[in-house]
Structure 1
Amino acid sequence: MLKMVDVYSDSPRSYATQSGVDIIMVKATQGTGYINPHCDTDYQAAKRAGKMLGFYHYCGGGNPEAEAKYFYKNTKNYVGEAVPAVDWESNQNASWGNTNYVRRFVDEFHKLSGVWCLIYVQASSISQVANCAKDCGLWVASYPSMDWKSWKLPNMNVKTSPWPTYTVWQFTGDNMDRNVVNTTKEGWKKLAKGSSKAEAKPKKKSTWKKKSGTFVLGQALEIHKEPHISSPAIAKLPKGSVVKYDATLQGPKRLWLRQARSKGYGYIVGKDKYGKALGKFK
């Protein structure tokens, strides 16, 4: 295993060149308006000292795509050389508890960079980022106590499910954030490189399937003239409305339901682009 220290603006600058440490993970940005003023200073110092590198973004909870774009804009020169990470915590996070926020963030960052982020989260809140397990490595925070001030690994079980294990385990968080990294130097470099460009997924042909059912709206939704989100609305239905449908279409992003009407058909979204049902199917 490798040793890693994560550093931020209030860390002593000496942490970036800490003896005996393999990797330095530097805080870069937060939200869409903060850049760590010491980010590049620490990054370049660690690089000159022969350390492997990482850089992370702290989520503010405003808009995940906007945050990912801000992160990429201010760190794109690090991409390919260092491993990116996203920090998901409750403090100063307006969307804490949202189980799709980080998924949307990592998707957008991957689209821009071709690299998947590590995801930092406390062990008790892994469920909030569980839908990222197939693409992203887990950086889990789990401490034996808040006064553990040693590189000696504590003898404790670390929750990681649905990940089979962690990529990084942060096990101290008092005087220094100490981490162990469950890979080799070559493995870390591979995480940093990702693909040469964001992967283009092959397009699947969407076809209607005859399927009748009832859909109870979990929120206000529009019925469209065509099965496209930009298509003009026929009507806006309030939460609790009941829609009977006679066919379904799994599009590239959304599940559409077809409603027979007096003059043709209307179309309503049953599941959003993250696979979340927008009501109850009966």
Structure 2
Amino acid sequence: MSLNGIDISGWQAGINLAAVPADFVIIKATGGTGFVSQGCDAQFQQAKALGKPRGIYHFAHEAGYQGSATSEANHFLTQTKGYHGEAMLVLDWEGDNVADVGWAKTWLDTVYAATGVRPVIYMNQAAENSYDWSPVVAADYALWIAQYPSSGAQGYGALSAPPHLVHWPSAALWQYTATGRLPGWNGALDLNIFTGDRAAWDAYTRKQGSTQPTPKELFTVAQYDEIQRQQGLTHSKLNNLAVAVNANARQNQIWHGQSHAKLNVLNEMVTQLAQKQGATFTQEEITQWAKEGAAAALAESVVTVDVNVNDKSQPEAQ
């Protein structure tokens, strides 16, 4: 499961988001200690009215407005406070201080402490590969990577030559071109893919309270392979499993503190398994399953999931 979307700024002033195909929109809000994108609110409100997932970003060390990490974070927080809880928060890391990992982490920590929403950091592949990002990765700040396999004009579609990452195990988003062409806009657009569904996106926008318990590890890819080997799981069953997990996660926040890479593994493996086999659960069974904590049981990293494909009995996670 993935979403295709665009990121925009004042360079796209006047864009009609209703006319441009995009599953999500990420919008420039601020830069440095004093820059404010004048088109941000109009772009944000139109995306909101259209029901699109949204993100907002701050350009670090905007030319002419360079400041400390804390002062720039406070500028971003002041100017975007009406959006917190509704949008992914992003640090755009491509200014004149790209080697200063400590600056970036201070900005991320300051925004996280003030909002409870864990920000994402954007950078190109060279920056990710060149500097020691281990403190940022350890703090579970997700990555939006920029890496362009081709410089030619293109739309959404099949991608090749994925980014080579040194520090993050995976990227939450990939910006794969700055020369995208889409209906409804006459110029070039940045095109991106998000490796998750709407529920996964929404998890990046929600406040994460410090008093919530940290869950145990989710299944690894190898454990999903073992489940696949053991069970004849159906497309419908696995789609319903994803629904139950998402519903229970929203209610009980079992994913709080979990790395986004692991969440993406969950989504991707469920999708892959769902393409293989098949019977269905009733909606009542799904609802009951979620209520009784089957999703929470998944977080216990057990391998065996007992699903009887020959009847409608409720699956049991052991």
TM-score bracket, normalised by the shorter chain, equals 0.5 to 0.7
1:17 equivalent to 2:18? Answer yes
Within the candidate set 198, 206, 227, 1:193 is matched to 206
Whole-Å Cα distance in 2 between the matches of residues 32 and 89 of structure 1? 16
Q: Does 2:81 align with 1:76? A: yes
CA gap of 1:89–1:75, structure 2 versus 1, over 3 A, is same
Q: Distance in 1 between matches of 2:42 and 2:27?
A: 10
- TM-fit CA distance, 1:14: 2.3
Q: Is the 8 A contact 1:5 1:15 kept in 2?
A: no
Question: C-alpha separation between the residues in 1 aligned to 2:132 and 2:116?
Answer: 20
Cα pair distance change 1:15/1:105, threshold 3 Å: farther
1:159 match: 164
Superposed CA deviations along residues 32-57 of structure 1, whole A, max 9, x for unmatched, are 11000000000001111121111000
Within-5 A mapping of 1:7-86: 7-14=8-15, 16-60=17-61, 61-86=66-91
Per-residue CA deviation, residues 178-208 of structure 1 (Å, 9 max, x unaligned), is: 0000111001111100314xx379xxxxxxx
Runs of 5+ consecutive residues of structure 1 not aligned to the other structure: 202-282
Q: Distance in 2 between matches of 1:118 and 1:159?
A: 18
**1:132 corresponds to which residue?**
136
Shift of residue 16, structure 1, vs aligned partner? 3.4
Say if 1:100 and 1:7 are closer, same or farther in 2 by CA, change over 3 A: same
The aligned counterpart of 2:241 is: none
Q: Which has the higher strand share?
A: 1
Residue deviations 1:112-150, cap 9 Å, x none? Answer: 111111110001111447131132110000001222422
Q: Which moved more, 1:161-170 or 1:126-135?
A: 126-135
Native 8 Å contact 1:100 1:128 kept in 2? no
Paired residues of 2:92 and 2:122 also in contact (CA < 8 A):
yes
Structure-1 separation of matches of 2:167 and 2:99:
17
Q: Which residue in 2 is equivalent to 1:105?
A: 107
**Separation in 1, partners of 2:70, 2:85:** 21
Helix, strand or coil at the partner of 1:173: strand
Q: Give 3-state SS (helix, strand or coil) of 2:169's partner.
A: coil
What is the CA-CA distance between 1:100 and the residue it aligns to?
1.1
Shift, 1:73, TM fit: 0.7
From 144, 149, 155, the counterpart of 1:144: 149
Number of corresponding residues: 196
Q: Normalised by the size of structure 1, how large is the TM-score?
A: 0.66
Q: CA deviation at 1:88?
A: 0.4
**Residue aligning to 2:117:** 115
* Cross-structure match for 2:193: 180
Q: Give the structure with the higher percent helix.
A: 2
Q: Distance in 1 between matches of 2:19 and 2:118?
A: 27
Higher gyration radius (CA): 1
Structure 2 residue runs without a partner (length 5+)? 180-187, 213-318
Q: Give percent identity, aligned residues only.
A: 27
